[in-house]
Amino acid sequence: MRFVVRRLGFFVLTLWAAVTLNFLIPRLMPGNAAIAMMSRYKGHIQPQALHAIEVAFGVNTHESLVHAYFTYLGNIARLRFGISLTFFPDQVTHQVLQALPWTLALVGITTILAFVLGTFIGLISGWRRGGMLDGTLPPLFVITSAFPYFWIGLLAIWLFSIKLGWLPESGGYDVQTNVAWSWSFVSDALTHAVLPAFTILITAIGGWILTMRNNMISVLAEDYVRMARAKGLSSWRIMWTYAGRNAILPNLAGFAMSLGFVVSGAILVEYVFNYPGVGWMFLQSVENQDYALMQALFLLLTVAVLVAILAADGATAVLDPRTRDRS
Amino acid sequence: MTAVTAAEPAATPGPEPPLGAARRGYGADLWNAVLRNRKALVGLLMLLFFVVLATFPGQIAPYNPQATDFLPGLGPSRAHWFGTTAYGQDVLSQVIWATRQSLLIAFAVGGLATVLAVLVGVSAAYLGGIADGTLSLLTDVLLVIPIFPLIIVIAAYEKNSGLGMLVIVLGALGWSYGARQLRSQTLSLRTRDFLESARVRGERRIYVIVCEILPTMTSLIVATFLGAALYAVLAAAGLQFIGLGDPNSQSWGTMLYWAENNEALGAGMVLWAIMPGICVAALGAAFALLNYAFDEISNPALRMRRLDRPIDGARGDAVPAVPPAPDRILEVRGLTVAYATDGDPVIAVDNVDFDVARGEFLGIVGESGCGKSTLLYAITRLLGPPFAGEIMSGHILFQGRDLVSLDERQLRHLRWREFSVVMQSAMNALNPVLSIEAQMRDACKAHSNMTDKEIAARSREVLQLVSIDPIHLHSYPHQLSGGMRQRAMIAMALLFTPDLIIMDEPTSALDVVAQRSLMVQIKELQQRLGFAVVFVTHDMSLVGHFSDRVLVMYAAQVAELGRTRPLFAQPRHPYTRALMEAFPSIHGPNARLTGIPGSPPDLARPPAGCRFAPRCPQAMARCHEGVPPLHDVEGDLVRCVLYDKGAVPEPTLVQAS
């Protein structure tokens, strides 16, 4: 129980840190971003929008910084992120909710797939060390894991869309199809997802393969694996229940830690493919200086990482009785 | 502490030198290791290539990178290897000039992040208490907050910020992963002897950190630097690509930004978009390869060494013409085991012969590093990492079958039913994620058709044999006390009541009282159930009380093999005598423990002649001439020139003074 409470406390603290960064960064930057922006927008946008900026950044409200901070915290706690400039006069929350499913479907599924597949390949290649698989995949993926995500995306577009014409080059679906749960829409969305998913998959998978392989090799030198051999268990049983199950535990912890990396890669992939998800919207908001939307999305990305960590914690608790006892 | 009790479980020959002693010259070792590693070498050469490009772009690049002197959108040609941009600039020249900024970012961010990581990580671990709590929390929070989006947020408020800003932000946010690793490494070092001694000497904290801790972590620090540099290269390219850098700067990311804005790929200026990406990837790959190689170097388990092949004729040999004796359960003949090293193979078990009779208790003793554990894992055919030796020659006849010639599948049928193994530390030998019951069930399922009910009944029964309440069947290893774990492992070894149980120091992890009661219990079970025991230990007193015969090993060879009583009454080999003097006798008068001066020889370079001679108080010139043979003295065996034919053995008694 204490473990769970501490973990939850940590999550709250991290969220608080992210919110505070959101609040502080624009106020600490040299030259007030909000004022600069307002002078640029004056006369171009509706007065309500201008007022929204004023409220969001505490310009012209004569509030003290501390007071403004608590007002800000209160608004965030009630999920009031303000009004989006890009999609004026739509609420930020509404916009975010529209983009979220796309990203969950694309990035969520491919990330889990990359983790499962990479862990599996790493497990096999660590188990059959020096074999064919071990000789080819890990060295290959050391190199691909250093490739920039977006550049792989560019190449994929060039090859499969421009040159070969097999797959659409951008967007999440064909604008001519109706957005509905119909077969034509779903298949269209899937076709659009193939290239970005492929890009994320091949750049993200390398890390999992390498760490799992190395964990596996360390675990294979453990006494309990030798004991399992001494007991005359089948190789299959030793590989999964004795070596694999123990080797995957550090990989789960690693999953949580490197998720930030995956998220940043996914943002760029969505950007390259104009994929209508959270990452694309995030960069869109940066470009349009739509700070309210940007802040909300940054917070959402933090929450996404925290949720993934929670899932990894849960999986660890299922696999490892020692963590169960601590909780 | 005597030389004998200072024993460590590891028996791998040529072990890593102790950290404290080896840390001077650690940098040089590291450098040599890098040069030997192929991945590291490739990474280093790639990095060197970019360093050269970044240092002399003016000499190497054919044109001014910014000059818009040429036709736009030219394809690759002699004059323009990579073609020209949509603005009529030479792509090759741009790529070369851009190297400078990317390398600068990589090294500056890598350096900044590493310094911060070392500062936070090491001081958190070294200071402990509240400082550690706060710093660790800060590290963990920063680790979880998605950094790249955060950088984008910062860049969004301050567009077109310069290179310095980029470096500071990337560096200030990129240190957390390294700090976490450095912290845990420092924590594991904190209690090491050389640090304790520095503390006792009253060295200042800062001195201890800089001069004692940091040098031992060179490889981890280098890894932190490489990881941060890799991350900086990719992050900077990403930021510049989406237009959050200075659009007039010369960098690969900026080139990609302009290429993308001009739809270079679609418009046929393919190399404009491909070459900068290849450069980012190549520089990243150089860092990744170096990082991977360093991981291998600092973690020797990841490196694989292999013997070319076992010495020819070893395995196919006919079994020697000694008729199998029905009263012997195990006959080991000429067993030789070698380890692959970077140099010549190291012989860890050298031509060892011995027998075990049915129901016999044979003790194998010797200092650590003498090959006891290797011998034991060779007999059980369990060699494999970290005991990655190979049987080079010899036979292991078990119930008439030669274990050396069996393959893994055939061995599996014998394992646990016919012979089982008890390991040194049950904490490590029991699978931490399975309950005791599940681990017993595994063994039963592998060798019988018992139903779940029968398995549960049998598991309860064996637990009761070792006096554990069967309620603990559902416990996990970490929930049991040290003594209980050890008993549970012995219970597991009894599941099929095998004819032979091999035990590797099964009591050495326990305190003296628990040790004693466990030994008594093992002996009782042995007499009741009639199995034979091969018992490895470095503790002479255990052997003296419980074994029927004793095999003394020294430097991979049998030094002496004899019946326990006569051997203890009159040890023949000077090494046996020295071992006995290093342990307190329970019965005799209080004697001063003397310990054995020196330590066992490095098996990679064993001394010529008798291997104990350099430490032997009775050594003479003859000892250094050749390896003495095993002499049969009154039915017992001893390897010492004192028993050469014609030599008059001087009376040997345990000195009681």
> Would the pLDDT of B361 be above 90?
yes
> Would the pLDDT of B281 be above 50?
yes
Q: Name chain A contacts of B148, Cβ cutoff 8 Å.
A: 260-261, 263-264, 267
Phi, psi of B550, deg, nearest 5? -125, 135
pLDDT band at A277 (very low <50, low <70, confident <90, very high): confident
Whether A157 and B230 lie within 8 Å, measured CB to CB: no
* Least CB–CB distance from B301: residue in A10, A149, A221: A221
Q: Name chain A contacts of B157, Cβ cutoff 8 Å.
A: 25-26, 29, 33, 291
For residues A158 and B277, the answer to whether their CB atoms sit within 8 Å is no
* Least CB–CB distance from B149: residue in A157, A282, A309: A282
Nearest Cα to B356, choosing from B338, B333, B378, B334?
Answer: B333
Phi, psi of B635, deg, nearest 5? 85, -10
Q: Name chain A contacts of B384, Cβ cutoff 8 Å.
A: 220, 226, 229
What residue has token string 């046929």? B268
Q: Name chain A contacts of B435, Cβ cutoff 8 Å.
A: 321
Structure tokens at A303: 């929450």
The alpha-carbon gap from B78 to the nearest alpha carbon of chain A, in Å, equals 25
pLDDT band at B14 (very low <50, low <70, confident <90, very high): very low
| pLDDT, tens only, B131-151 | 888 888 888 888 888 888 888
For residues B498 and B419, the answer to whether their CB atoms sit within 8 Å is yes
| pLDDT, tens only, B30-48 | 677 777 778 888 888 999 9
pLDDT band at A6 (very low <50, low <70, confident <90, very high): confident
Whether A157 and B265 lie within 8 Å, measured CB to CB: yes
Whether B273 and A230 lie within 8 Å, measured CB to CB: no
The alpha-carbon gap from B314 to the nearest alpha carbon of chain A, in Å, equals 23
| pLDDT, tens only, B154-195 | 877 776 567 777 888 888 888 888 888 888 888 877 666 666
- pLDDT of the residue at B588: 54
> Would the pLDDT of B634 be above 80?
yes
Whether B242 and A268 lie within 8 Å, measured CB to CB: yes
Q: Name chain B contacts of A261, Cβ cutoff 8 Å.
A: 148, 231
Structure tokens at A268: 């760029």
- pLDDT of the residue at B310: 45
* Least CB–CB distance from B152: residue in A221, A223, A286: A286
- pLDDT of the residue at A42: 64
Residue of B nearest to A243 (CA): B431
- pLDDT of the residue at A3: 74
> Would the pLDDT of B454 be above 90?
yes
- pLDDT of the residue at B593: 62
* Least CB–CB distance from A231: residue in B157, B377, B443: B443
- pLDDT of the residue at B194: 67
- Site from A29, A224, A236 to mutate, B interface, most B CB atoms within 10 angstroms: A224
> Would the pLDDT of B532 be above 90?
yes
* Least CB–CB distance from B144: residue in A14, A31, A142: A14
- pLDDT of the residue at A31: 56
| pLDDT, tens only, B283-319 | 988 988 888 887 777 666 666 555 544 444 444 444 4
The alpha-carbon gap from B338 to the nearest alpha carbon of chain A, in Å, equals 18
Partnered with residue B421 across adjacent β-strands are B502
B17 CB neighbour count, 10 Å cutoff = 11
Q: Name chain B contacts of A156, Cβ cutoff 8 Å.
A: none
| pLDDT, tens only, A7-57 | 888 888 888 888 888 888 777 765 555 666 666 666 666 666 666 666 666
- Please count the CA atoms within 13 angstroms of the CA of A322 that sit on its side-chain side: 9
- Determine the average pLDDT of the residues in B574-592: 71
Q: Name chain A contacts of B301, Cβ cutoff 8 Å.
A: 217-218, 221
* Least CB–CB distance from B238: residue in A130, A268, A282: A268
Distances A290 to A41, A287, B153, B480 between C-alpha atoms, Å: 11, 8, 11, 59
Q: Considering chain A, what is the average pLDDT of its residues?
A: 81
No. of H helices and E strands in chain B? 25, 12
- pLDDT of the residue at B332: 92
Q: Name chain A contacts of B411, Cβ cutoff 8 Å.
A: 232
Whether B284 and A158 lie within 8 Å, measured CB to CB: no
For residues B476 and B434, the answer to whether their CB atoms sit within 8 Å is yes
| pLDDT, tens only, A154-170 | 888 888 888 887 887 77
- Determine the average pLDDT of the residues in A79-89: 73
Interatomic CA distance for residues A300 and A208, integer angstroms: 25
The alpha-carbon gap from B448 to the nearest alpha carbon of chain A, in Å, equals 12
Q: Where are the alpha helices (DSSP H) in B380-481?
A: 408-414, 426-429, 436-447, 452-465
Query: By percentage, how much of chain A surpasses pLDDT 70?
Result: 84
Interatomic CA distance for residues B537 and B364, integer angstroms: 6
* Least CB–CB distance from A148: residue in B281, B415, B434: B281
Whether A321 and B146 lie within 8 Å, measured CB to CB: no
Whether B304 and A283 lie within 8 Å, measured CB to CB: no
Cis upstream peptide for B386 (omega within 30°) = yes
| pLDDT, tens only, B205-245 | 777 777 777 777 777 888 889 888 988 888 888 888 888 87
Whether B146 and A302 lie within 8 Å, measured CB to CB: yes
> Would the pLDDT of B2 be above 60?
no
Interatomic CA distance for residues B438 and B495, integer angstroms: 13
> Would the pLDDT of A62 be above 70?
no
The alpha-carbon gap from B61 to the nearest alpha carbon of chain A, in Å, equals 24
pLDDT band at B632 (very low <50, low <70, confident <90, very high): confident
* Least CB–CB distance from B382: residue in A210, A226, A235: A226
Whether A232 and B433 lie within 8 Å, measured CB to CB: no
- Determine the average pLDDT of the residues in B481-494: 90
Whether B385 and A271 lie within 8 Å, measured CB to CB: no
- pLDDT of the residue at B612: 87
- Determine the average pLDDT of the residues in B543-563: 90
- Determine the average pLDDT of the residues in B40-62: 85
- pLDDT of the residue at B218: 79
Query: By percentage, how much of chain B surpasses pLDDT 70?
Result: 84
Nearest Cα to A279, choosing from A297, A262, A258?
Answer: A297
For residues B114 and B221, the answer to whether their CB atoms sit within 8 Å is yes
| pLDDT, tens only, A220-263 | 888 899 999 999 999 899 999 999 999 998 888 777 767 777 78
* Least CB–CB distance from A319: residue in B231, B292, B433: B433
Whether A146 and B230 lie within 8 Å, measured CB to CB: yes
- pLDDT of the residue at B115: 92
Whether A257 and B177 lie within 8 Å, measured CB to CB: yes
Interatomic CA distance for residues B255 and B447, integer angstroms: 66
The alpha-carbon gap from B313 to the nearest alpha carbon of chain A, in Å, equals 25
